[in-house]
Structure 1
């Protein structure tokens, strides 16, 4: 007897499945496929992410134990781990990369009016990379060190909603700063980066594209002071200067003036120096912007803890990228559901609830908005030190 949609099916309803079909058609994903389609593959992998499955055998056992519900989940064939493994190995990972990017665009529109707590109308991005260690003998394509393999997840995070707007998956050898070459700078936007992205030639390209950046200065920075503005030292500010670079290479690569701001963090007893090409916003706002850069660190920590990207279901480059992109799409899907249904619970709480109720038929908005005091708690993990 029909009693309503499964929670899993209700969550999938928030996906633009017509876009998924277009992505599949673009890369001939279902070519020569008789039974286990790309849509079935996506649903199985999304199920694995939502319910914390650890292996293909785990996915097979759990789904076949609920075989009478597979049709209502949108899965049209029986699940076999060999079939799913073959699909992950052979079906183009770009299908799921493009689909995830379309979800990101939907989520960014939903979160466009989010309040950052700063008096800024500009879009603010945080750029960073996270390394996922792998076994060299099992993943020989993911070169990192002589005895280690790894993949790097380079992410540009839109801080309004913590939605990844750009993701690049590379082997472990690609230096973080090289990803700046892949970005299309957005005029008027702020890009917050750490010292690892110090490359004045690339930063000057951001400046010429009319984008702004905030970066921590290295201790060996060579410069001369051009002008100093008064600061309120009670706020922790120590100086607000206009400087010119004097290093042989840095002066050639960045010939324009820069703004140098020194800040004392009383909590950690550290003195921090920031560089930016924006001369109009208050100096204290520059320091606050850099604090927000830690949101991208928390994003990496969150997806590593709550999504399945530390242990992979396949060993080929295609299988790894397929799993990562589907994990990202599930993260964005949960963010979309949270916004569309106006759910006060954190993403962590929503994932925990979904993981236990995926085969239930309770309405999704009722399930996620019940007045449970635990649901309103944020991620229980400790906040990272902002200026380490």
Structure 2
């Protein structure tokens, strides 16, 4: 494996682990790096560029770590030999091309995932599921995901794969779970109830057997999974509908939606989400960064109190004013770190002075100790002395 192969494989594992556990990508990268014996991801990057390669034991540990949360993952080809790991009955990734662009497509927990350099498409198990299209790496030049024709071709491939998945699932179901009988009844593939109409626990939508079976037992209205579909709306109590035939009329629109979903790609307006990390500054974030920098400037417990209690205001342009208590922050001491942070953020920082915000008597005590423990000890002793106890 080359250093690029190693880094890319680790990034793929980290990305999927992050998604599975809803963690920031950088945290997942650091977790992967820790399994390789590094304190953080940048250290692993530097080592790989310098010729380091993980041992077979380390690779096994990383794969085992990823396997706990990721049902399918793939090592990139090395010397023409690719290794695929498949878990939970999912299909291994397959490689293909759309024009000059390489992609990988795989099935995970019934969903189809299709990805390439800088992009990813996810298509849910239900036939009515709308595709989720995202930019995963903004730095990729000429990212094909911005080309409507490329997206159209990619969705055709993803739809075909999704139909294969649906066929495999249906093969394991009872006949009545895929096709209503002459009376319009269908059998739930999980709880085996037999009914003419079905109710969604998630959105209370009523559906006919034809509508629900055509959508792989996902709610035609909200897309909820089969475990949310029941033959009676027991959760509604007295509000449950009395006319059970009303469901047939109420789901006509949903049924039309399911029938036309497979042919909608050519007319579908795809929203492409950019999920690459972006720093979006707002009032809270600017205040947080300035207060952190002010704490860096603090040299003793008194100044730390001043930093924590400083009144920091941020306007709509993210320019800020910082009001410091003269009893807690030394007169004439500039908060150099806070000023540098403001400069890095490209904002103006105005400094003002106030008084009377100290939370305890004798604020000077906090300037003559080295730690919070020493300060609290001195503070308690002073209060005890003046209380006469």
Per the normalisation by structure 1, the TM-score is 0.23
Q: Which has the larger radius of gyration?
A: 2
Q: Which has the higher contact order (CA 8 A, sep 6+)?
A: 1
TM-score by length of 2: 0.22
